[in-house]
Amino acid sequence: MEPLRIGISARLLYPDPRRFFLPGKSVQYLEQSVANWVMSGEVLAFMVPELSLASPHLPSRITVRDYVDMLDGLVLQGGEDIAPETYGETPLNPAWSGDRIRDRYEIALFEEFVRQGKPVFGICRGCQLINVALGGSLYQDIGTQVGEAVQHRDDRRYEGTFHAMRVLEGGWLSRLYPDCRSARINTIHHQAVKGLGRDLVVEAVSEPDGIVEAVRWQGPSFVAGVQWHPEFMDPSDPQILDGRPLLAAFLAACRKRKGAGQPAPALESA
């Protein structure tokens, strides 16, 4: 059987004279850890480019749908904040303005994957993107908008920051980790899910502040997101949550969809 073909959304960098590498150019890139994490499932990983940045050399006939036709699933990787305008707000601080170009690009990808009934898994920003694409909202900054929150980001330690998480009973995540009610995860975000998007359910929350750490869509295809970064965590470390079951569940859904060969009903609300 040929390996699955998994698309991974691109991170974007814009022209910056302070940057040594291609300071006058837009750059699209795939973070190595997430690529390796996906490929550890014995699948092929492909970065899906943001088409508009290629101007003036845009293809005349290739569309997002053509990419989705060729792929079996999508991973939305982490990165820059989501722009508050994308969920109907204005930035409370210029530093939280986010990336509207990437928002539009990833939402278009998400919607086409869902229309074709192909699985989607979101990591950190990707989890937030799923929520916003389905009509939800975000805390622009946990530290200023949520009272008595634990520290969810420390730029000095980056993925070396951890906190406790509670897996909610009776959900998909609790079935994936049947012996786990509490876990330790890394945390690299200052924004988080506030209002839930359509047909999303919460699967896990941080302790003790209750910030949403995982969501799942109740629609006809596999859509799930986690706020932590499983690709940065060592699966051999017994002190932290093993991310391998997450990847296995996502890839199993991709194989099931590929074997069925028929798309699920279109998502009217996406």
Tens of pLDDT, residues 123-152 = 999 999 999 999 999 999 988 888 776 665
CATH classification number, 5-260, choose in 3.40.50.720, 3.40.50.880, 3.30.870.10, 3.30.1280.10? 3.40.50.880
Q: Residues 124, 152, 163, 190: which is the catalytic one?
A: 124
> By percentage, how much of the chain surpasses pLDDT 90?
67
pLDDT at 137: 97
Residue 54 predicted with pLDDT over 70: no
Average pLDDT taken over every residue of the chain: 90
Helix H, strand E, coil C: the string for 105-158 is HHHHHHHHHHHCCCCEEEECHHHHHHHHHCCCCEECCHHHHCCCCCCCCCCCCH
Confidence of residue 237 (pLDDT cuts 50, 70, 90): confident
Greater pLDDT, 52 or 2: 2
Structure tokens at 67: 């990419």
Confidence of residue 73 (pLDDT cuts 50, 70, 90): very high
The answer to whether residue 124 is catalytic is: yes
* Residue extents of the structural domains in the chain: 5-260
Greater pLDDT, 57 or 255: 255
pLDDT at 265: 41
The answer to whether residue 231 is catalytic is: yes
CB-count exposure of residue 32 (10 Å: 0-12, 13-18, 19+): exposed
Neighbouring C-beta atoms of residue 218, cutoff 10 Å:
10
pLDDT at 266: 38
The per-residue b/e assignment along 137-163, b for 16 or more CB within 10 angstroms, e otherwise, is bbbbbbeeebeebeebeeeeeeeebbb
Q: Residues 111, 213, 231, 254: which is the catalytic one?
A: 231
